[in-house]
Structure 1
Amino acid sequence: MMRKLLPILLISFGAAVIVIAFGADLLKLGGDPGMGTKQILLAVVGLLSLIIGLIQRYNLDWHKLFAGPSVSSAQLLRMGICLGLLAGLLESVLLLSRIGLGIIINLNLHLLWMKPLANLILFIMIGLILLPLSRRWPEIFSLRFAGFVLIFLAGLAPLTQFPQLYTWAKVLLAAGLAVQASRFMTAKPDKLHTLIRGTTPWVAGLAVLVCVSFYAWKTLPERQALSELPPAKPDSPNVLLLVLDAVRAQSLSLYGYHRQTTPRLEEFAKTGVCFERALSTSPWTLPSHATMFTGRFTHQLFGDGQTPLDAKTPLGNKYKTLAEYLSENGYVTGGFIGNVGYCGSSYGLNRGFTRYEDHVSSFELFSRSSGLTAKMFKYFKNNQNTIARKSAADINQSFLNWRSGHKDRPFFAFLNYFDAHDPYIAPQPFELKFGTQKPKLPTIVHDRKYKAREIRQLLDAYDSCIAYLDNEIGLLLDELKEQDVLKNTVVIVTSDHGEQFGEHGLMYHVNSLYRQLLQVPLLISFPNSIPAGKRFNNAVSLRDLPATIIDLVNLENPNQFPGSSLARYWRPEKKTANGNVPVLFSEIFIGGEEPDWIPESWPVAKGEMKSVVAGGYHYIQHGDGNEELFDFDNDPEEERDLANSKEYAGMLKQMGLSVAAGIVQNYLKID
């Protein structure tokens, strides 16, 4: 009785498990849409159970399922090598086609050589697993079985490049291909082996050509650019620009924060000048950096119809960058990037740099470069943001290694640190420098409502990241001082934008123009040229950085970079004496269609935003026409909106007109 009942139970169990596995997509029963790893495992278990039940119920000869010629060790490994390389090369071709079609523009191009090599190793490993099985049970693990497994995986690998397809659809397509191909292999094994023997060397040669071409593409342009550099002026000073991505001034002890987050920057501030109210021109990475490199506002750098926030719009070549201008004057230029997203070379910020290190290769990236292993890593390792994340220590070491090979020329080095950007994960011993408990999720979810305890934990982690970053910057400056480099180097420490932790009911950045996002640190040091230990309470804009750098290194600035040198604050002859006050402009520019990923709760969801700081007040214009006005001098948290007060009606109108005029003037006459 039990022997008759068991097959029925196995068939029922298998069918039920398959339905549960596919339920998320087909029956809307929840789970991971597109089939997650758990659902795939469930489907495999259900399928095996169903097959075993059917075999037992109908007395099927299961040996026939795998019947076919045996496969030798050499044939099995040769199949693994050939199919592994073919799968990897096809993945790389599909990846390149997506770049060419503009589907994606920011990609770690190391994947192009990693994919063939990673798939090669993976398929050899699978072949080595099948090898002893084919020797022990040749009637089961025959050529047909081995061919089915290898072709199924070789077909599935390139299908992973199509995220719009559900996982179960990819599996069915790959399985159908494997079934048909394995039939051909069984019917004509001699022709198959001849084909594989003749094809494998050509496929291997093509993979080697991909690797060599990638190496040449990465190295030859730098060598050519270095050979074309003109001589520099004698004793030209170096320029070191350190940008602390997403670090707000409000969280630095340098600016009075109650936690000791930046003791090394406080020490460094004694060697130069510190601006206490420096403002970014945009609350997110790409346009802010673009302004620091060109002196131009976002609406000047991106035209109508372009939306930088769509992740597909790079900086154009309309205006010369600081790196290009310094290269024309004999500087060797290098960029060392932590934020490989919007600061990557794909977004145009690399223009003018002879070396620009953004995306890097790593063993972890290599191990998941194959589409077959990527999904497994996604499930078994929760935090993926650390794959391509370079620490401040990594950035510093890359810069020092590069600089050691270019001691015969002045350098312009741009170091972008990503350590204080979410996810907030500080390395030991800084992980819990502030607070006692790590946040469950160190990444800010855009449309989530956070509790006060959760915000506090995220802020603790953020402050700990800043402390780590501060320590690493201190170590870099120590090393440069020991090498006697700092005495002839303009060092600038700043940030591209700030961060919000519940202020105005907002988290993260890019979503508003409140002070928490705009006010950033700004330190400038240059021994014997800049007074030591000076602090300025004046509101200044990062737009002036290019003009300041050109001024400090004594180069001509024939209208290349608009703005005014910040040296006007410590050099009397540089001061503006017309009695007007400076206008500091910031914006969130949306020239085309608004991206659909922006949550409705964000202020920027109502359209592009503009901001002016002038005469001690901060004016914000929203996309729907609403206006806000804050006392910049006496309300640093911007908690009291003055826009509805009759007392400030004239100020509100004047600033609104200034914004409407396109901020063509740098100074305003305040009544």
Structure 2
Amino acid sequence: MALRKPRRALGAVALTLLACGGGDSPPIVTDLASYLDLADLTAESSEVVPSDYDQRRELMAGWSPPRQDAEGAFATNEGPRSEIAWRLAWTRPLELVLTGRAMTIANEAPTKVAISWNGELLGDVHLTAGAGMQDHRLEVPVDVQRIGANTILLDYSTEGASSPAPPEVAWSRIRVEGAGVGARPAASADGRLQLPFRTALDFFVMLPDGGSLALDDVALYGPQGAWRNAEPVPALLVSVHRYPAAPAAVSETITEGRRRVRLRPHELPIRIRIEPAAGARLPQAEAGFRFSGVVNSVSNPWPHAALPTAAAPAAGPEPESAASGPGAKPPHVLIFLVDTLRADRLGCYGYDRPTSPNIDRFAAGAVRFEHTVAQSSWTRPSTASILTGLYPHNHGARSRNHVLARDVAYLPEVLRSIGYRALGVSSNSIAGPTFGFRRGFSHFKQLPENLSSPGIHIPVWRVVNETLEWLERIGPEDSFFVYMHAMDPHAPYYPPEPHRSRFAPDAPAGALGKNMGKLQPFEIPHLSDLYDAEIAAVDEHFGRLLEELDRRGFLDDALVVFVSDHGEEFQDHGNHGHGSNLYREQIHVPLIVQLPARLRAEVERSVVEEQVQQIDIVPTILEAIGRPDLIEADGRSLLPLMRSRGSRAEHRIAMSDLRNDGEAVDALLLEQDDEPRRKLIDYWSASFGETHQLFDTTSDPAELRNLGAREPHWAGYLRAIGRLMRRGSRQQLEPGLEPDMPPEQRRALEALGYLD
């Protein structure tokens, strides 16, 4: 991340540091206008885009998740009424503009939408089938408006007919003309901040060496004469809070000109709050303060979002890659992905049941990563992250109706371009050819779900058999890349014998469990036991795979990655399954890496305690084969950590997200040397609004004690880090068009809980 260096020619910002420390270190000048998107805003609503999770937070009850058809992206009503919450900074003449179309078919009666504002009817909108998206305008009288929260209701009915089901309307955009513009903090073209009345900015930063906040060109804007003889005069209030419950450490009142506010050194996040106060009167019009603002510091105000500068290599020879030497054949690469496997159900991760003897033996001769974070809690985005090295907001396969973007670098395709033969075998079609995962493979075998089978998905032994059969075609001159995706132990659980009798002897017969269901207390032990039995079945055939690779002479020359896409919940936080939240049980996954024999002498650690992520797998593979430049990934190679030469700082931030079914969830996990591990979960739902949870995962690994109210500075700081790291996202949450699929595949995915 590049923070802006001072431009002395502008003459607008004083660069003198107060109590910064750091000797002769050059100052870092952070222009607040350039980092406005990192601040928490108190502001007026401006526009809603129902098809974009990040631009629909005003939508309350009665809304569908984002959808798309051939005419574009939208969301519809769910039920006879939709609700919108709208915040106003002041009352004035406004116009409500709704862009929508009826979803009815030709010759059906027109749809009527009655629209009210704070309980007062504004009017009716009439929509006919086939008319396409159109703007519908309604005046919002001043006397029905409120300063602060306003409620807009949309009531749906069919004209001239009584129908048991309400008509469906697609909305692509909702705005209030005259609102938002001029009533939200903004950065002007000249780099100044514009802060209207009844708004506020909260910047959360870390300044262990201190610094200063320099404000310049502070001036009022608004109607001429609005503050004539006002006492007290309007002012810009600046406060610095070092402890959540304590009074402000600094409080300054600025009426005009310039001011420099001292920021004393502090090892924890601080909150800098800037808000205008109107004094004796507040105009009912666009008005506030304009100013230039910078934070001067020795260190980066958001240090955890910046990757450390690469250190000079240690004395001695460069670490060898597996493809070192002229004409050396690159090693084989095999990724064995187990669907739905939480790390704490394996013996090598501390589980007390013998579910995984073969995996445990493999881990004993490899490197096990204790704290691996999945990039999502369901298959498609996390699998895409494993195979691209990118966060979901960058690879495209983020929500239910997204496919893997065609223009992102993809590991199978890249390896095949340098001579690898690439095989994919998968028993989970949610990350299969229909959704863009076939690209680049020499051969991809999708084992389709089978609705006539109690377990629905194809068992792991078939995945292993298909792989071993294909490997018979590999000659001594070939290097192969194999990606194996075993659906067990995904629900419904239907483990084979003898594992069922061994781990779940008292469970009812047949397949049990379906993703994301509420369970009765007596059901949980049975489902948990069946889950363990399925893990044991996976372990059996993973062991068989390793034995056969060794017998054929492949294993010593292979880089083997054992990983899961996500975990599974058994009422840990009130749910069963996955894809419903980002708590530990759904995103803490196993990761075990065995390097080719030619590289194992350099490995100094059998267990890595540092936090790592699925996006680190691609850079690790590419560095091991001697081609680290092939993919520009979001992750970092794990080889330095395995060799005890890596920096913990390179892996101190992990991110996970979930975009599904009317909700947006973001998790950010922070690891520090002298502080507890912290995890922030920001949750937004179309039905329930926003919630924020903060956990100390060192003392509370189960994530049961929410510290958000006790440590709001940490929550604000981690939220800013997440926003900074998602800057420049290639994908802005616009829903893609879910591809067509055979009816039987759709029914199978519905049965597995992936589709409604």
Same fold per TM (> 0.5)?
yes
CA distance in structure 1 between the partners assigned to 2:628 and 2:611 by the alignment: 26
Deviation at 1:338, TM superposition (A): 1.6
* 1:528 CA drift (Å): 3.7
1:529 aligns with 2:592: no
Instruction: Give the Cα separation in 1 of the matches to 2:438 and 2:421.
Output: 13
Residues 303-346 of structure 1: CA deviation (Å, up to 9, x unaligned): 8xxx7314xx321212010001101110000001121x312211
Asked whether the equivalents of residues 344 and 359 of structure 1 are also in contact (C-alpha less than 8 Å), the reply is no
Looking at structure 2, the residues matched to 440 and 450 of structure 1 have their Cα atoms a distance apart, in angstroms, of 18
Q: TM (normalized to structure 2)?
A: 0.50
Following the alignment from structure 1 to structure 2, what is the Cα–Cα distance between the partners of residues 285 and 447?
A: 14
Residue identity opposite 1:609 in structure 2: V
Equivalent AA in structure 1 for residue 524 of structure 2: I
Secondary structure of the structure 2 residue equivalent to 1:413: strand
Task: List structure 1 runs of 4+ shifted beyond 6 angstroms.
Answer: none
Contact 1:273–1:532 (CA<8 Å) still a contact in 2?
Answer: no
Letter of the structure 1 residue corresponding to residue 474 of structure 2:
H
Q: Counterparts in 2 of 1:256-295, with a 5 A limit?
A: 256-295=350-389
1:438-489: per-residue Cα shift (whole Å, max 9, x none)? 2467343467531222011000000000011111101110111122211110
Change (3 A) 1:532 1:454: farther
Say which of 551, 560, 580 aligns to 2:623. Answer: 551
**Partner in structure 2 of residue 585 of structure 1:** 655
Name the residue aligned to 1:121: none
Residues 500-541 of structure 1: CA distance to partner in whole angstroms, max 9, x if unpaired? 001110111001000001100000002241337711111110
1:122-521 aligned within 5 A: 234-302=328-396, 308-310=399-401, 313-339=402-428, 341-359=429-447, 383-386=453-456, 389-407=457-475, 408-439=477-508, 442-445=511-514, 448-521=517-590
Counterpart position of 1:538? 610
Say if 2:376 and 2:658, in contact at 8 Å, map to a contact too. yes
Instruction: State the distance in 2 between where 1:559 and 1:320 align.
Output: 6
Q: Which runs of 5+ in 1 are unaligned?
A: 1-99, 103-231, 366-377, 595-604, 667-671
CA distance in 2: counterparts of 1:533 and 1:580, whole angstroms = 17
Q: What percentage of aligned pairs have identical amino acids?
A: 26
Separation of aligned partners in 1, 2:530 and 2:382: 24
For residue 609 of structure 1, the aligned residue among 643, 665, 669 is: 665
Aligned residue type for 2:565 = D
Equivalent position SS for 1:309: coil
2:738 matches 1:649 = no
Q: Secondary structure at the match of 1:521?
A: strand
- The amino acid across from 1:455 in the alignment is I
Deviation at 1:391, TM superposition (A): 1.9
Alpha-carbon contact 1:584-1:612 (below 8 Å) kept: yes
Q: What is the CA–CA distance in structure 2 between the aligned matches of 1:435 and 1:441, rounded to whole Å?
A: 12
Q: Deviations over 1:267-300 (max 9, x none)?
A: 1112110001111001011111111111111122
Aligned to 2:674: none
Q: Is the 8 A contact 1:271 1:533 kept in 2?
A: no
Distance 1:323 1:466 in 2: 27
The alpha-carbon deviation at position 258 of structure 1 amounts to 1.6
For 1:422 and 1:436, the matched residues in 2 are separated by 18
- 1:359 offset after TM fit, Å? 3.4
Q: Displacement of 1:349 after TM fit?
A: 1.1
Q: For this pair of structures, how many residues does the alignment match?
A: 394
What is the Cα deviation at residue 424 of structure 1? 0.8
Q: What is the RMSD computed on CA atoms of the aligned residues?
A: 2.6
1:563 counterpart letter in structure 2: G
2:680 equivalent in structure 1 = 619
Asked if the contact 1:283/1:513 (under 8 Å) is kept, the reply is yes
**Alignment partner of 2:502: what SS?**
coil
Question: Which secondary structure state, in structure 1, belongs to the residue aligned with residue 503 of structure 2?
Answer: coil
Q: CA separation of 1:489/1:643 partners in 2, compared to 1, >3 Å: closer, same or farther?
A: same
- 1:638 is aligned to 703
The 1:442–1:553 alpha-carbon spacing in structure 2 relative to 1, beyond 3 Å, is same
Measure, in 2, the Cα distance between the counterparts of 1:400 and 1:558.
28
Higher CA-based Rg: 1
Query: What is the letter of the counterpart of residue 309 of structure 1?
Result: R
User: In structure 1, what is the Cα distance between the partners aligned to 2:516 and 2:489?
Assistant: 21
SS at 1:350 equivalent: coil
Deviation at 1:436, TM superposition (A): 2.3
Report if the CA contact (8 A) 2:460-2:487 is conserved: yes
d(CA) in 2 for partners of 1:447, 1:638: 19
Kept after mapping to 2: 8 A contact 1:585/1:663: no
* Partner SS for 2:328: coil
In structure 2, distance between residues paired with 1:441 and 1:628 = 39
- The one-letter amino acid of 1:329's match is I
536, 560, 563: which is aligned to 2:632?
560
**Cα distance between partner residues in 2 of 1:472 and 1:581:** 33
Contact 2:409 2:631 in 1 (8 A): no
Q: Please report the TM-score for the alignment, with normalisation by the length of structure 1.
A: 0.56
State the alpha-carbon separation in 2 of the partners of residues 658 and 288 from structure 1.
21
Cα distance in 2, alignment partners of residues 451 and 548 from structure 1: 43
Q: What amino acid is aligned across from residue 359 of structure 1 in structure 2?
A: L
Q: Distance in 1 between matches of 2:377 and 2:628?
A: 30
Letter in 1 for 2:615: R
* Preserved contact between residue 519 and residue 575 of structure 2 (Cα < 8 Å): no
Separation in 2, partners of 1:664, 1:486: 41
Q: Offset of 1:235 from its aligned partner? A: 2.0
Partner of 1:225: none
SS of match in other structure, 2:499 = coil
* Aligned counterparts of 1:360 and 1:580: Cα–Cα separation in 2: 40
Contact 1:272–1:534 (CA under 8 A) maintained in structure 2: yes
> Which amino acid in structure 2 is aligned with residue 234 of structure 1?
A
Residues of 1 paired with 2:543 and 2:507: CA distance? 25
TM-superposed CA distance for 1:661, in Å, is 2.6
SS at match of 2:518: coil
Residue 529 of structure 1 aligns to which amino acid in structure 2?
L
C-alpha distance 561-660 of structure 1, shift in aligned 2 (>3 A): closer
Q: For the residues of structure 2 that align with 1:316 and 1:663, how far apart are their CA atoms?
A: 17
Cα shift readout 1:235-255 (whole Å, capped 9, x = no counterpart): 210001000000000211110
Question: By percentage of residues, which structure has more helix?
Answer: 1
Structure 1 or 2: larger strand share? 2
The gaps in structure 2 that reach 5 residues or longer are: 1-68, 72-325, 672-676, 730-756
In structure 2, the CA distance between the partners of 1:502 and 1:556, relative to structure 1 (3 Å rule), is closer
CA contact (8 A) 2:655 2:667 kept: yes
Query: Conserved in 2, the CA contact under 8 Å of 1:276 and 1:537?
Result: yes
Q: 1:491 to 1:532 in 2, by over 3 A?
A: farther
* 2:724 corresponding residue in structure 1: 661
> Per-residue deviation at 1:556?
3.8
Q: State the shift of 1:572 in Å.
A: 4.5
User: Given that residues 454 and 510 in structure 2 are in contact (C-alpha distance below 8 angstroms), is that contact kept between their aligned partners in structure 1?
Assistant: no
User: 1:559 Cα shift?
Assistant: 4.9
**Partner Cα distance (2:437, 2:364) in 1:** 31
